[in-house]
Amino acid sequence: QQQVKQSPQSLIVQKGGISIINCAYENTAFDYFPWYQQFPGKGPALLIAIRPDVSEKKEGRFTISFNKSAKQFSLHIMDSQPGDSATYFCAASSLPGNQFYFGTGTSLTVIP
Amino acid sequence: EADIYQTPRYLVIGTGKKITLECSQTMGHDKMYWYQQDPGMELHLIHYSYGVNSTEKGDLSSESTVSRIRTEHFPLTLESARPSHTSQYLCASSEGLGLEQETQYFGPGTRLLVL
């Protein structure tokens, strides 16, 4: 059973546009929600993470929005650039030290 | 840039062969993980370790085995490879002492093809 559901599977955005990737979860014990970015031939790398005590976290052009009541969280990439083209995974875990559950990934392509 | 290494990066092997995928990290992390990654699918945890001589199976059933004799080394072994084992295998580590330390650092992966 998939613990974290991610959509869309693929996304094409014009340079300068906003990329939005959504994730949903069921387990209310989850309290740590990271996003990972993966380039071809590389392993995933942590991009940004949030805990449910805040509704939004911003780092540069990347923002996580978190809706605890809806059990949903999303990644927004503002002013998307071709260099942002990668696969993005959301994940969730119940800390401390517990297993991470990953979404199925979103392949983002930013066209010039 | 995380210091976690995987070898080989690519492996093509025949059915029935024994293989070992290597994973090493130089960060002194206690926690290490093996994930299986297939296109369009979530990363599935197949093994993890919270320290030397500690190994556990993840949610995804796997015929592979792991060992953790040294902190920095977490090899994965398939005694008899089959075509169903064809996948990408990702190794990761984390310090595991609190919120910030839960960041998992991934290696570049080993892409395995079993003929």
Quick: pLDDT tens for A72-98.
999 999 999 999 999 999 999 886 666
Across B6-24, average pLDDT: 96
Picking from B50, B102, B109, the nearest residue to A32 by CB comes out as B102
Q: Do B42 and A45 touch (CB under 8 A)?
A: no
Cβ within 8 Å of residue B1, ≥6 positions away? none
Report whether pLDDT(A22) > 80.
yes
Residues B26 and B11: beta-carbon distance below 8 Å: no
pLDDT value at residue A99:
80
**What's the Cα-to-Cα distance from A56 to each of A48, A59, A66, A76, A94, rounded to whole Å?**
11, 10, 6, 11, 19
Range picked from A39-43, A93-97, B99-103 for highest mean pLDDT:
A39-43
- Residues 32-61, chain B: which have Cβ within 8 Å of A? 35, 40-43, 45, 48, 50, 58-59
Q: What is the rounded end-to-end Cα distance, in angstroms, of chain B?
A: 34
Q: Identify whether B83 is preceded by a cis peptide bond (ω within 30 of 0).
A: no
Average pLDDT of chain A to the nearest whole number: 93
Percentage of chain A modeled with pLDDT above 90: 81
**Minimum CA–CA partner of B59 in chain A:** A99
Report the alpha-carbon distance of residue B75 to residue B95 in Å, rounded.
18
Picking from A42, A49, A104, the nearest residue to B40 by CB comes out as A104
How does residue B98 score in pLDDT terms, banded at 50, 70 and 90?
A: low
Is the minimum CB–CB distance between A51 and chain B shorter than 8 Å?
yes
Q: Do B42 and A49 touch (CB under 8 A)?
A: no
Q: Do B104 and A49 touch (CB under 8 A)?
A: no
pLDDT value at residue B100:
55
pLDDT in tens, B32-66: 999 999 987 889 999 999 899 999 998 777 789 99
How far off is chain A from B35, nearest CA to CA, in Å?
10
| Sign, CA torsion B68/B94/B92/A55 | positive
Picking from A32, A96, A99, the nearest residue to B58 by CB comes out as A99
